[in-house]
C-alpha cells in the first residue's frame, strides 16, 4: 500500500514540476464493485469483473493498477484525464474483466481500492479467495 501511495505522490510531483502545463493527468479511480469467484483452482485461469465510474467524458481508461506481494493483490483503475477539452459532465459506468492466472496454492487476498477517507488515508475492500 505504501508503494501505491508513493506512485500517486510521485506522479503528482513530476507533473507539477514540469515547465509546460500538461494537457492530461494520470490518476487512480476507486473500484465500485468487484466480482470474484467463490474459489480458484490451482494452475488454471479465472476472471474478476471490476466495475468503476469515470467522473465525466474527460476521463478515459488507461490500465488496471495491479500490485502483488506474496498472496496479497492491490487493485485499482488507472485513468487519464484530458485537461485541454471541454467534456460532457455525465458520469460513465464501465466494466472490465481482469484475467487471473492461479499460480500459488495459498489463498489470494485482493485489496480493491475504494478511495480516500476524510483524513486522506487510502481505503480498500478486502476479499479473500481460497485456492482449491
* Residue pLDDT, tens place only, 8-59: 556 565 555 555 667 999 999 999 999 999 999 999 999 999 999 999 999 9
Mean pLDDT (the chain) is 90
- Give the whole-angstrom CA distance, residue 42 versus residue 23: 45
pLDDT value for 6: 54
pLDDT value for 67: 96
Q: 131 near 105, Cβ under 8 Å?
A: yes
Amino acid at each position: 500500500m505504501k508503494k501505491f501511495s508513493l506512485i500517486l505522490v510521485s506522479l503528482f510531483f513530476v507533473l507539477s514540476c514540469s515547465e509546460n502545463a500538461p494537457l492530461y493527468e494520470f490518476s487512480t479511480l476507486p473500484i465500485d464493485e468487484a466480482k470474484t469467484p467463490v474459489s480458484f483452482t490451482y494452475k488454471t485461469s479465472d476472471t474478476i469483473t471490476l466495475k468503476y465510474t469515470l467522473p465525466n467524458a474527460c476521463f478515459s481508461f488507461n490500465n488496471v493498477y495491479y500490485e502483488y506481494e506474496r498472496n496479497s493483490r492491490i487493485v485499482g483503475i488507472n485513468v487519464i484525464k484530458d485537461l485541454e477539452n471541454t467534456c460532457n459532465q455525465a458520469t460513465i459506468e464501465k466494466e472490465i474483466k481482469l484475467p487471473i492466472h492461479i499460480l500459488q496454492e495459498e489463498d489470494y487476498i485482493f485489496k480493491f481500492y475504494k478511495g480516500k477517507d476524510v483524513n486522506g488515508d487510502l481505503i480498500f475492500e478486502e476479499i479473500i479467495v481460497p485456492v482449491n
